[in-house]
Chains A and B, each alone.
Chain A
Amino acid sequence: MVANPFTSLLEQSEPATASGYADHPPRMGFFTDTSVCIGCKACEVACKEWNHVPEDGLVFTGMSYDNTVGLGADTWRHVAFIEQRKPLGQQVTGHGDAGIRWLMASDVCKHCTHAACLDVCPTGALFRTEFATVVVQEDVCNGCGYCIPACPYGVIDQRQGDGRAWKCTLCYDRLGVGAEPACAKACPTDSIQFGVLEELRERADNRLSQLHGAGVADARLYGRDPDDGVGGDGAFFLLLDEPEVYGLPPDPVVTTRDLPEMWRRVAVAAALVAGAVALGFARSVT
Chain B
Amino acid sequence: MGTSFGRGGATTFQQDLQNADCILIEGSNMAECHPVGFQWVMEAKARGATLIHVDPRYTRTSAVADMHVPIRAGSDIAFLGGIVNYVIGHDAYFHDYVVAFTNAPTIVSGDFVDTEDLDGVFSGLDAEQRSYDPSSWQYEGATVQASSGQREQEPDTRVAEQQGSPGSHSGEHQPSVSGSGRGTTHGSGGAPVPSSVERDETLQHPRCVFQIVKRHFSRYTPEMVEEICGIPQDLFLEVCRTVAENSGRERTTALAYAVGWTQHTVGAQYIRTAAILQLLLGNIGRPGGGILALRGHASIQGSTDIPTLYNLLPGYIPMPHAHRDEDLDMFIEGASTAKGYWGGMRSYLVSLLKAWWGPHATEANDYCFDYLPRLTGSHGTYETVMAQMDGGCKGYFVVGENPAVGSANAKMQRLGMANLDWLVVRDFSLIESATWWKDGPEIETGELATEDIGTEVFFFPAAAHTEKNGSFTNTQRMLQWHHAAVEPGGDARSDLWFYYHLGRRIRQKLAGSTDEMDRPLLELQWDYPTEGSVTEPSADAVLAEINGWDAEGRPLTSYEQLDEDGSTACGCWIYCGVYATGVNQASRRKPGREQSWVAPEWGWAWPANRRIIYNRASADRDGKPWSERKAYVWWDEDEAKWVGHDVPDFDPAKSPWHRPPAGATGAQALAGDDAFVMQGDGKAWLYVPAGLTDGPLPAHYEAQDSPFPNLLYPHQQRNPVRQVFSRRHNRYHPNPSQPGSDVFPYVLTTYRLTEHHTAGGMSRWLAYLSELQPEMFCEVSPELAAERGLEHNGWATVITARGAIEARVLVTDRMRPLTVQGRVLHQIGLPYHWGPNGYARGDAANELAGLSLDPNCHIQEVKAMTGDIRPGRRPRGAARVELVEEYIRRAGITADTGMEARGGR
Contact = CB atoms under 8 A, between A and B. Distances in A.
Contact of B771 (A39, A58, A64, A102): A58
B67 A55 contact: no
A67 B774 contact: yes
Contacts of A56: 771
Interface string B549-578: 000000000000000000000000000000
Contacts of A209: none
B31 A91 contact: no
B768 A45 contact: yes
Given A48-B768, A55-B768, A40 B812 contact: no
B70 interface: yes
B772 A68 contact: yes
Interface in B18-69: 31-32, 35-36, 38-39, 42, 58, 60-69
A95 B812 CA distance: 12
A117 to B, nearest CB: 25
Contact of B793 (A36, A60, A85, A188): A60
A55 B816 contact: no
Interface string B155-195: 00000000000000000000000000000000000000000
A88 B813 CA distance: 14
Q: What does DSSP make chain B's interface, helix, strand, loop or mixed?
A: loop
A22 interface: no
B813 A85 contact: yes
B235 A92 contact: yes
Interface string B753-777: 1110000000000011111111101
Nearest to B753: A65
A107 interface: no
B231 interface: yes
Interface string B717-759: 0000000000000000000000000000000000001110000
A38 to B, nearest CB: 4
B839 interface: yes
Interface in B204-246: 231-232, 235, 238
A196 to B, nearest CB: 20
B792 interface: yes
Given A60-B808, A67-B771, A189-B42, A102 B67 contact: no
A49 interface: yes
Interface in A166-220: 188-190
B60 A94 contact: no
Contact of A104 (B35, B60, B772, B810): B60
Nearest to B37: A188
Contact of A55 (B60, B64, B770, B792): B770
Interface string B296-338: 0000000000000000000000000000000000000000000
Contact of A83 (B31, B32, B814): B814
Nearest to B230: A94
A102 B814 contact: yes
Looking at A62, A101, A104, the one whose CB has the most chain B CB atoms below 10 A away is A62
A91 B58 CA distance: 12
A92 B771 contact: no
B64 A95 contact: no
B771 A38 contact: no
B201 to A, nearest CB: 39
Contacts of B769: 45
B334 to A, nearest CB: 46
A57 interface: yes
A58 B774 contact: yes
B63 A104 contact: yes
A102 B755 contact: no
Interface string B419-440: 0000000000000000000000
Contacts of B810: 62, 64
Contact of B772 (A44, A64, A96, A101): A44
B38 A67 contact: no
Given A55-B771, A100-B814, A189 B39 contact: yes
Contacts of B808: 60, 62
Give the bracket for the number of chain B residues in contact with chain A: 35 or more
A58 B70 contact: no
Contact of A62 (B38, B42, B67, B793): B793
B840 interface: yes
A64 B809 CA distance: 11
Given A56-B771, A60-B774, A102-B62, A40 B68 contact: no
A21 B793 CA distance: 51
A67 B773 contact: yes
A141 interface: no
Contacts of B64: 36, 38
Nearest to B235: A94
B816 A94 contact: yes
Nearest to B30: A38
B792 A62 contact: yes
Contacts of A7: none
Given A92-B66, A94-B70, A40 B771 contact: no
Given A42-B35, A188-B39, A189-B38, A93 B58 contact: yes
A277 B770 CA distance: 61
A44 to B, nearest CB: 7
Nearest to A40: B35
B36 A188 contact: yes
A42 B36 CA distance: 10
Nearest to B35: A40
Contacts of A67: 771-774
Contact of B775 (A36, A41, A58, A91): A58
A92 B68 contact: yes
A59 B754 contact: no
Interface in A14-53: 36, 38-42, 44-45, 48-49
B577 to A, nearest CB: 30
Contact of A39 (B754, B768, B840): B754
Contacts of A40: 31-32, 35, 60, 754
Contacts of B70: 93-95
Contact of A59 (B58, B767, B774): B774
Interface string B257-272: 0000000000000000
B58 A41 contact: no
A41 B755 contact: yes
A190 B39 contact: yes
B232 A94 contact: yes
A213 to B, nearest CB: 12
B35 A188 contact: yes
A58 B839 contact: yes
Nearest to A41: B772
Contacts of B773: 65, 67
A103 B58 CA distance: 12
A72 B755 CA distance: 20
Contacts of B69: 93-94
A90 B810 CA distance: 27
A91 B768 contact: no
Contacts of B772: 41, 44-45, 67-68
A190 B36 CA distance: 11
Contacts of A102: 58, 60, 62-63, 814
A187 B748 CA distance: 32
Contacts of B42: 36, 38, 189-190
Interface of B: 31-32, 35-36, 38-39, 42, 58, 60-70, 231-232, 235, 238, 753-755, 767-775, 777, 792-793, 808-810, 812-814, 816, 839-840
20 contacts: A38-B61, A40-B32, A41-B772, A45-B769, A45-B772, A59-B774, A60-B774, A65-B753, A65-B773, A67-B773, A68-B772, A91-B66, A93-B58, A93-B69, A93-B70, A94-B235, A95-B70, A100-B813, A189-B38, A189-B39
Given A88-B63, A91-B65, A92-B66, 15 more contacts: A38-B32, A39-B60, A45-B772, A48-B768, A54-B767, A55-B771, A56-B771, A64-B810, A65-B60, A91-B67, A93-B62, A94-B70, A94-B235, A188-B39, A189-B38
Closest 8 CB pairs of A and B: A55-B767, A58-B774, A62-B793, A102-B63, A38-B31, A40-B35, A60-B775, A92-B67
